[in-house]
Amino acid sequence: MKLQRLSLVNFRNYKEAHIQFFEGVHVIYGENGSGKTSILEAIHYLALTKSFRTTNDKNLILNTEKMFRIQGEFSSGQGTAIQSAIGYSPANGKSLTVNGQKAQKFSDYIGEIPLVLLHPADLTLSQGGPAQRRRFLDILLSQSSALYLHSLIQYNRSLRQRNQLLSEAREGKCDPQLLKSWEENLIAHGTELIRKRQEATARLSESVKQHYRGLSNSEDKVKIIYRCNVETQSNQSLAEAYHRLFEQSRAKEVEYGTTLPGPHRDDLLFLLSGKPLKDYASQGEHKTFIIALKLAEFQHLQQQRLQAPILLFDDIFGELDANRIQQMLQQLGHIGQVFITTTSRNFFDKMGPASISDLPIHYYRVEDGGVAATEA
Ligand SMILES: Nc1ncnc2c1ncn2[C@@H]1O[C@H](COP(=O)(O)OP(=O)(O)OP(=O)(O)O)[C@@H](O)[C@H]1O
Ligand SMILES: [Mg+2]
């Protein structure tokens, strides 16, 4: 997938900007606070209809304005053109137009523009809490399977409803039949989520192992395991185990006012030489693992969507060593379109033409909410 043109109106610190992009690597450079990440954020928003920095879209509107609009012209690997536009205002909400048609359901559109993001917060993926790792899987799977996204939306809706009922139950007012009917919904969608996550984790684990070996030149083996709190006994189906768990935990759930079993409490376990990365790995090993994981995410989406995802790297190169960056750009810059932000353009100049020969690199200078393509 390639983004050819991007237009921003009243987005973050941009009053208006129109930018053209090409094949290969795009280095977006400029001082702190100039607006580099905002460009990646706009591309991310166009692909996933969400920001990676805020859940409140009001924050994205240029101060003093009342709405923002982002437009992009993409071309798919098969040469099909996709024109997307998203507008938002607090008064009218969010609206998405794809090829001139207003989209009724955003979920049908997610995945059309496959995208992989690596930003500083990802560097804590292997050390932080489980919610961050579930989010990683959810974003990956929502882009690769419309069915997964549908199940996820339904699951989260049922979860909110059931939690509401449970908190009412604490005060003695709750219809047990209603509680059970939400349980049935949670089990139906939850088993779908668990199966797809297990399947994806097994594939990711193999792929991460290969990438890690390539990046580290070591024999250390990495592995990913999906840790599911719905455990099946022999001859028991996942749905049966799930039902049973609900029966066992209901009293506790009423006490806590929240749903206990289910994929909203699952986790991914990352292992290095059989030991949890969290307790065992060095800083460098964590970083190598995260890059391997992102390469695996790229590969997974490429296989599922039959085209290379767009890659966004937000300001992470100060964190990683130059060799790894070169290796990664060599691998990815030829396959997909890459966008990189950095405060130091020198960093890329220093890598030298020999190391990234025949890789097309385009430079963009960002200054106070304006973007200009500059000479290589
Ligand atoms: N809604 C908004 N309206 C106007 N300005 C905003 C808005 N939201 C953020 N900003 C400002 O826009 C500027 C650009 O932010 P951005 O994160 O894109 O910068 P950056 O170039 O990535 O900086 P850094 O190198 O520090 O990461 C910042 O000064 C930020 O405070
Ligand atoms: Mg930034």
Here the tokens at position 294 are 């992102």
Q: How far is the CA of 232 from the centre of ligand 2 (A)?
A: 45
Q: How far is the CA of 40 from the centre of ligand 2 (A)?
A: 9
Q: How far apart are CA 338 and CA 26, in angstroms?
A: 6
Ligand 1 atom with the smallest distance to the CA of 39 is: 18
Q: Is 67 in the pocket of ligand 1 (CB under 6 A)?
A: no
Q: Which residue has the higher pLDDT, 270 or 323?
A: 270
Of 25, 30, 39, 43, nearest to 365 (Cα)?
A: 30
Mean pLDDT of the chain: 93
Q: Is 120 in the pocket of ligand 1 (CB under 6 A)?
A: no
Spatial neighbors of 283 by CB under 8 A, at least 6 apart, are: none
Where is average pLDDT lowest: 136-145, 158-167, 310-319?
Answer: 310-319
- Nearest ligand to the CA of 39 is 1
Q: Is 302 in the pocket of ligand 1 (CB under 6 A)?
A: no
Backbone phi, then psi, for 118, in 5-degree steps? -125, 115
Q: How far is the CA of 365 from the centre of ligand 1 (A)?
A: 15
Note the pLDDT of residue 294: 94
Percent of the chain at pLDDT exceeding 90: 78
Q: Is 32 in the pocket of ligand 1 (CB under 6 A)?
A: yes
- Nearest ligand to the CA of 33 is 1
Note the pLDDT of residue 147: 96
Where is average pLDDT lowest: 41-50, 125-134, 145-154, 329-338?
Answer: 329-338
Q: 195: pLDDT confidence band, cut at 50, 70 and 90? A: very high
Where is average pLDDT lowest: 36-45, 221-230, 335-344?
Answer: 335-344
Which class for 376: exposed (0-12), middle (13-18), buried (19 or more C-beta within 10 A)? exposed
**Tell me: domain 1-114+307-376, CATH 3.40.640.10, correct?**
no
Q: How do residues 204-257 score in pLDDT, each as one tens digit? A: 999 999 999 988 888 889 999 999 999 998 889 999 999 999 999 998 999 999
- Whose alpha carbon is nearest atom 18 of ligand 1? 35
Q: Is the pLDDT of residue 33 over 80?
A: yes
Q: How far is the CA of 341 from the centre of ligand 2 (A)?
A: 7
Note the pLDDT of residue 345: 83
pTM: predicted TM-score of the whole model, two decimal places: 0.94
284-290-296-302 Cα dihedral, nearest 10 degrees: -130
Note the pLDDT of residue 368: 84
Q: Is the pLDDT of residue 293 over 90?
A: yes
**Would you list the domain boundaries of the chain?**
1-114+307-376
Q: Is the pLDDT of residue 354 over 70?
A: no
Note the pLDDT of residue 357: 64
Q: Is 119 in the pocket of ligand 1 (CB under 6 A)?
A: no
Beta strands 115-118 and 222-227 are unpaired
HEC string of 101-143 equals EECCCHHHCCCCCCEEEECHHHHHCCCCCHHHHHHHHHHHHHH
Q: Is 214 in the pocket of ligand 1 (CB under 6 A)?
A: no
- Whose alpha carbon is nearest atom 30 of ligand 1? 33
